[in-house]
Amino acid sequence: MDYFLTEEQKMIQELTEQIAREKIRPVRAELDESEQFPWEIMRILAQADLFGLYIPEQYGGMGGGIFENCLAVEKLGAACIGIATSFAASGLGAYPILLFGSEEMKQKYLPQIASGKRLAAFGLTEPGAGSDVSGIRTTAVKDGDSYILNGSKQWITNGGESEIYSVLAITDKAKGPRGASFFVVETGDPGFSFGKKEKKLGIRASATRELIFQDCRIPADRLIAKEGMGFVIAMKTFDKSRPGIGALGVGLAQGALDVAVEYARKRVQFDKPIISFQAIQHKLADMATKTEASRALIYSVARYMDSEPREVSKVAAMAKLYAGDVAMEVATNAVQVLGGYGYMKDYPVEKMMRDAKILQIYEGTNEIQRNIIGQELNKEYGRLKESFF
């Protein structure tokens, strides 16, 4: 399919495809096995200017948008979404600063993030607050020119590897959801430490750790925007980042489809390549159709969002929901096409199937995405004067 990309967008695809082919594919199985953080690949992505794709040029970025970032993430994700997640998580951590930070804060942090010299991360989830963000307990109390943070964040992607963290904490418990605020916390801040590295089903090259704040004192100017803006910042950040998660799904589905079709053409049973059997053909046809539909949706949503419309929550949720579900389905079916070989670690689809599951869970479970879409539909149709009966 031709998606009428610009020269620059094609260049992003070309470059990320080269990195995926030459640098990621040869090491993905090993990093999955050893659970080592892919620092060498992060260095390559940094040298290739990719960490700054969506960051404006005045802050050292490439001045692209969500779409450009999606194109990169898709190609990297086709090789390994564990590694691509480590890359994308820095963007998630950067968005609160990019969208709501003061000019001074942007000048300080964005060039470091854009150059890939320092990775960022996003700290929201807590043991008691996942889908229900209002359950967060981490507090930030103002003390003169400082804030003092106490509490912990759970399952933070890039935790312990990143140096810049956007962290959500309660500044005024009485105000409920309006009492939360975002802060920038840096590695080395007093009272800031990390828990153990989590063992995971998939995306094992990515690092997931607990962030621990024990009387963690940070300068007051690390507050992003104003007190009480926390939930708004979280929601706007997720709106921006969700198409990227969808793009990881498109990449993973494409990667699994590529392996499945190549295998089906070569594998001979009953004296014929198995792709000649309809049972396999139909499976591959559905996998290919859904992968392309998923890509078309992600590209449309990303381009639409780059035009900066007012309401994006519904389409951003659709992008994440659909591409994540398709990735899970396509990866599962790729394993089925490869049969016993697919179940073994000698072929990459076993890893892809384990990896795909996270796409339905992180950055808002797919159930939460359906909630968002449902609520937005209710609002949208409530505003209409017209009846369709």
Partner 1 sequence: MHIVVCIKQVPDTKNVRIDPDTHTLVRQGVESIINPFDMFAVEGALKIKDENGARVTVLTMGPPQAAEALRDTLGLGADDAVLLSDRAFAGSDTWATSTTLAAAVRKMGDVDLVICGKQAVDGDTAQVGPEMAALLDVPFATFVKKIDVARSGSITVHRQTDEGTEVWKVQLPALVTVIKELGEPRVPSLRHKMRAKKAEIAVWGNSELGLDPNSTGLCGSFTQVVRVFSPQRRGSRVQLEGSIENQVEQLFQYLKKARVPGL
Residues tagged active-site: 363
221 touches partner 1 by CB under 8 A? no
Q: Which one among 13, 29, 36, 49 touches partner 1, defined by CB under 8 A?
A: 49
Pairing, β 120-123 against β 164-170: parallel
50 touches partner 1 by CB under 8 A? yes
Q: Which one among 23, 240, 242, 351 touches partner 1, defined by CB under 8 A?
A: 23
Residues 198, 204, 206, 210, Cα dihedral to 10°? -10
In this structure, is the dihedral angle defined by the CA atoms of residues 65, 70, 75 and 76, taken in order, positive or negative? positive
Helix extents (H) in the chain: 7-19, 28-34, 39-47, 66-79, 81-100, 103-114, 230-266, 278-306, 313-343, 349-356, 366-383
15 touches partner 1 by CB under 8 A? yes
CB of 114 to partner 1, least distance (A): 11
Is 113:90 a contact under the CB 8 Å cutoff?
yes
Residue with tokens 């998660």: 245
**Separation CA 163–CA 73 (nearest Å):** 21
Three-state secondary structure call for residue 161: coil
44 touches partner 1 by CB under 8 A? yes
Residue 295 contacts by C-beta under 8 Å, 6 or more apart in sequence? Answer: 1, 3, 74, 250, 254
258 touches partner 1 by CB under 8 A? no
CB of 199 to partner 1, least distance (A): 31
CB of 307 to partner 1, least distance (A): 23
Quick one: which segment of 40-48, 98-106, 162-170, 193-201 binds partner 1 (CB under 8 A)? 40-48
Instruction: Please count the residues of this chain forming the interface with partner 1, following the rule CB under 8 A.
Output: 17
**Separation CA 267–CA 95 (nearest Å):** 46
| Beta carbon nearer to partner 1, 18 or 58 | 18
CB of 45 to partner 1, least distance (A): 9
**Separation CA 77–CA 153 (nearest Å):** 26
42 touches partner 1 by CB under 8 A? no
323 touches partner 1 by CB under 8 A? no
Is 151:139 a contact under the CB 8 Å cutoff?
yes
12 touches partner 1 by CB under 8 A? yes
22 touches partner 1 by CB under 8 A? yes
215 touches partner 1 by CB under 8 A? no
DSSP string across 244-305:
HHHHHHHHHHHHHHHHHHHHHHH-EETTEEGGGSHHHHHHHHHHHHHHHHHHHHHHHHHHHH
CB of 151 to partner 1, least distance (A): 39
Give 23's DSSP letter. Answer: I
281 touches partner 1 by CB under 8 A? no
62 touches partner 1 by CB under 8 A? yes
47 touches partner 1 by CB under 8 A? yes
| Beta carbon nearer to partner 1, 62 or 136 | 62
**Separation CA 151–CA 309 (nearest Å):** 36
| Beta carbon nearer to partner 1, 18 or 375 | 18
11 touches partner 1 by CB under 8 A? yes
Residue with tokens 């009966």: 389
**Separation CA 149–CA 324 (nearest Å):** 34
Give 385's DSSP letter. Answer: -
The footprint of partner 1 on residues 110-129 (CB under 8 A) is none
30 touches partner 1 by CB under 8 A? no
| Beta carbon nearer to partner 1, 90 or 208 | 90
75 touches partner 1 by CB under 8 A? no
CB of 71 to partner 1, least distance (A): 11
CB of 60 to partner 1, least distance (A): 11
Where do contacts with partner 1 occur on this chain (CB under 8 A)?
Answer: 7-8, 11-12, 14-15, 18-19, 22-23, 44, 47-50, 53, 62
